[in-house]
Every structure is written in structure tokens, then in C-alpha cells.
Structure 1
């Protein structure tokens, strides 16, 4: 049931890529159970068979169809391109993303919208997240463990964000109006399109942190099929591209110049840490 005083329409971008129907159903149910009543779903089909997806939605989630808009891409595109296809038809005051294998607490939308209504100078709200480890057993998802992802997150600084992404993509809700200044997601990246977007967002705007764990990031470490999470090699290549991109902005001067140096510094620090760990893991002769 919606709480009094809730306002603002939220456009929810849901990317789906033909994963098992059970995962998409879980994501859609977590939207249907939201206590904030004003939302629309922009479902971006980024690789699933169109007829099968539509039949599944009509069979299992018919009640959501009046509040859902389909975007069927003619062919599978990158992560950022799929999000941008959804952004092009968004009509809400706010935007958030929920991939087909993740989920929310029922208060996610309500808490983030209320935070932005109270902090009128803030452009984005971030909540804390939990990592949910799970695996497939006999066609069913079995919970292995649930742990806090960022339980100490109280405020967001560019210094901390330059080291690595501090929150999951579905833990961010932002005002749609900011897209006029910062642009859409980077469609050329293999991964980390959310982190690159966040860097541009927080270079220009303030945010507010909702100190509750309301976003659930589901990981399936043992999965090797289409239900698996993203490849770490894609993350590494995208991380290096983003840091080099900002380093090349040193000629522009000002805040972006300092931020480019900070990103480069943390990039080298992260790589040295990885090399050190790899050396420690090497067997001694």
C-alpha cells in the first residue's frame, strides 16, 4: 500500500537478454510489490525471442502490461545501448534501472523518491545493497548466502568513487532532467557503463544516501550459461578505458583535470594490488 505523500513518476528500465523466466519474474514481482505507486516499466528486450517473451509476459504478468512498454531491439546490443533505447521513451520524473536477474526491497522506490523530495538540491539518491549468492539446483534457485555490499556507505565522494564503483546499478535513482546536461549511458563500453555514467553525474550534481539495504544484487558464481553474471575480463578492459579517457582530459583543466589524475592514481594502485595478490598465490618452488 502506498504511503501518504509519495509523488513523482519513476521510469524503471528493465534490460532482459533471454535469461531463465524465473529470474525475470522475480525482478518484475519486486516492482509490483513496491509501496511507491507511481511507476512505469520500460522493458528492453536485448536478445530474447520476441514472441516467447511476449507470450510469457501475457501468461505470467498480465496485470503489469498496462504499465509496461516494450522495446524490442532488432539485435542484441551492448549494455549502454540497451539502456539508452529505454531512456529514449522514458516519461517519468525519475529514472532507475533493474536488470532481469536482480531485485529490490518493496520500499526501494518510496525511500529514494522521498529522499529526493526532501533534498531538493540533490539530483540522485543511492541506497545500500546486499549481495545474494545463489545457485541452480534441479531447475530451482537455491540461496547460498546474503552479505552486505556497502554497509558503511553514508555519503558519496568523488574520491571514493574514483577508486571503484561504490554501489550497484539498481541502487541509484536520479532525476531524468539531469540527462540534458550529462547525456546518456556510454554505448561503447563492454561493462561498467553504470560507473562511467556515475562519474559524469557526480562530477556535476549532489546526491543523497538512503542508509538502508534496499537493492539486492544476485550473483551465481557457479553458473556458466546465459544466467551467469558479467565477465571480469570485460570489467577490467572497461575500467582501463574509463581511466585513460579521463586522463586524456588533463588538457581541459579545472575539476575534471584533477579527477583524471585521481582516477589514474587509483587505477595504478588497484593494478599493483592485483599483481601483489597474484604473486602471493603463486606456488613456491
Structure 2
């Protein structure tokens, strides 16, 4: 049965967080959706036990997939997407949440746009910092992830990911042109997909905080965010993606090695100037009169 929206949730042995994601989806004012939960190689029993208590509230709008072995985040996303049928798709990770109007607002905004190249919607996002222990999840603080976000250009997204999967809803038919998520990437697959999306289409930014991106601040490995726990891995795979595209341009003649070396030389000199500035600041910190002034200011 085709639904208006397919909500894809990837999870693995994180039932303590999955319940919040379930409540987030069930609480939406838009009701025409299917929630596809992909248990990516985790223990199926706790997932089935949790979801059994929600059976009546789901009213047949739940599809659970248990992967015997993990396919990775992007592979799990693709499996959930291909197992569903809908007009729109959105990724709702097991540790994130929405405000009740997220789906309704995104769909209404997208359907009202007069621009045919617009195929997606992004909302503003609350960045929620939290801790987790035996007693449950506790919010520590929150802030607006990017209060100045009004639009997203292709050059901007190639520098850094401007939005999270939890804040992004898009038309399913974009997969026919840009392809699915790259399942060879263990991290930053959403960023790589966003680049391909914006290389063909545009999106609208809704300046309302309707998505919640949750970040654990303690050292709990099981519930850690990949963006913090796997920072070095993110940088490594980012370089793989960047190098792949540059090599394509080198091979086609669109970019020359001389141009690349010119850019490298510029950033090398810029880095040296920054290093010199850091050295000056460090010396000033040890300058005796400034030390006295700092002590006085503390008083």
C-alpha cells in the first residue's frame, strides 16, 4: 500500500532511544505515513517486544525489517526505502525526534512551491545535548543548530553538511536521478547524498525549529553519536569523497595539476600565517604586564 511518506529509522541495540523515535512518529499531525524500522543486525527480541506495545497505535502503518547482519547505516536506509512505497521519504534516526507538525509542514511547503526544481524541504533544528544512564535520558541543554539558515546552495553543502537527516524530507522520485545512499560509506553518507541531491535539485528551508538532533554528552559508547565518536573517520571519508571528484576532473581535463598546486600553495601560505598568529598570541599570554592585567580583571 502506498503512503504519503515513508519514515525510515535505522537502529541497532538501542531500544532505550528507539521508544522516543517511535513516539515522535506516532505524534505527527500528518497521519498518512508508513514507519519502516530497520533493525540492522541487532538483537530482534527487544525491538519486537518494544514495538508490540505500540501495535494498536500504529494501525498497520509499521514495517519492521530485521537484518541478520549489519548492512551499515546507508545500506539499512536503502533497504527500508526499497521496501516501502510513498511519495516522500525522510530519515528519522533512532536517537532523534520531531515536533508534531514536522511532516505536515514540510509536505504542505513542498506541495505549494511553484518551482519545479524544488524537490526537498529542510527545517530549522534544535541541537539537544543529553546524558543517558540507568534512569533514562536527561536533557542537559539545547540550542538552535543554525538560526541563520535561510537557504542552501550547492557550494555551501560541498564545504560542510548544513542540515541533518532528521530535518530533511524529499520526493522519492529523486532516487531515479541521483541514486540511493552510498552503502560503501560507514559515515557521512547523508552528506554525500545531499551533494548529489543539490547537484540536480533545490530545496526550501522552513525557518521553524521542527526537528530535534540529540547528542549524548557522556562517554557512553553504545549510544554515542557518530559525528562525535567517529570524528577522525568522518574526516578520512570526507577526503575520499573529495579526492574521487577531483580525480574525475583531472582525468577529464576540467582541472589541471597546476591549478590544484596553486590552490595548495595558497592554503599552505594561509596556514603559515595562521601559525605565526598563534605563536604571537602564545607569547602575549606570557607577557608579564598582561599577566598582571589578567589577574586584576579577575578581581
Report the TM-score, using the length of structure 2 for normalisation: 0.81
Q: How far off its partner does 1:77 sit?
A: 2.0
Which stretch of the first structure deviates more once superposed, 164-173 or 62-71?
62-71
Which secondary structure does the structure 2 equivalent of 1:159 belong to? helix
Match of 2:173 in 1: 177
Counterpart of 1:5? none
2:13 aligns to what SS in structure 1? coil
Residues 1:101 and 2:95 are matched in the alignment: yes
Structure 2 counterpart of 1:22: 16
CA displacement at 1:171 relative to structure 2: 0.8
Q: Aligned with 1:141: secondary structure?
A: strand
Q: Conserved in 1, the CA contact under 8 Å of 2:20 and 2:97?
A: yes
CA distance in 2, matches of 1:135, 1:84: 30
Gaps of 5+ in 2: 287-299
Q: Hey, what's the Cα distance between the residues in 1 that align with 2:147 and 2:154?
A: 18
Task: Report the CA distance shift for 1:61/1:29 in structure 2 as closer, same or farther (over 3 A).
Answer: farther
1:10 is matched with: 5
Change (3 A) 1:272 1:243: farther
Does residue 1:88 correspond to 2:82, yes or no? yes
Counterpart of 1:3 in structure 2 is: none
User: Partner of 1:248 in structure 2?
Assistant: 247
- Per-residue CA distance 1:197-218 (angstroms, 9 max, x = gap): 0000000012111111111110
**C-alpha RMSD over aligned residues:** 2.8
Runs of at least 5 residues in structure 1 that lack an aligned partner in the other structure: 1-7
Confirm whether residue 32 of structure 1 aligns to residue 31 of structure 2: no
SS at match of 2:46: helix
Corresponding residue for residue 4 of structure 1:
none
Moved over 6 A (4+): none
CA contact (8 A) 1:101 1:218 kept: yes
Is 1:41 aligned with 2:40?
Answer: no
Say which of 135, 148, 151 aligns to 1:152. Answer: 148
**Paired position in structure 2 for 1:190:** 186
**Alpha-carbon separation, structure 1, partners of 2:145 and 2:210:** 11
Deviation, 1:253, is 7.2
Structure 1 residues 203, 142: CA separation in 2 closer, same or farther (over 3 Å shift)? same
Provide the rounded CA distance (Å) in 1 between the counterparts of 2:49 and 2:56: 10
1:148-176 CA-partner distances (Å, limit 9, x unpaired): 11111101111211110000111110100
Aligned pairs, number: 264
Tell me the residue number matched to 1:233. Answer: 232
Cα distance between partner residues in 1 of 2:168 and 2:252: 29
- Cα contact 1:58–1:65 (8 A) shared by 2: no
Q: Which has the larger radius of gyration?
A: 2
Would the aligned equivalents of 2:215 and 2:225 in 1 still touch at CA under 8 Å?
yes
Measure how far apart 1:225 and its partner are: 2.5
Q: Which residue of 1 aligns with 2:202?
A: 206
Q: Residues 126 and 172 of structure 1 are in contact (CA less than 8 Å); yes or no, is this contact kept in structure 2? A: yes
2:295 is matched with which residue? none
Q: 1:12–1:96: 8 Å Cα contact kept in structure 2?
A: yes
Q: C-alpha distance in 2, partners of 1:100/1:172?
A: 15
Match of 1:221?
A: 217
Instruction: Decide which moves more: 103-112 or 135-144.
Output: 135-144
Question: Within 2, Cα distance between the matches of 1:24 and 1:227?
Answer: 11
Partner residue, 2:60: 66
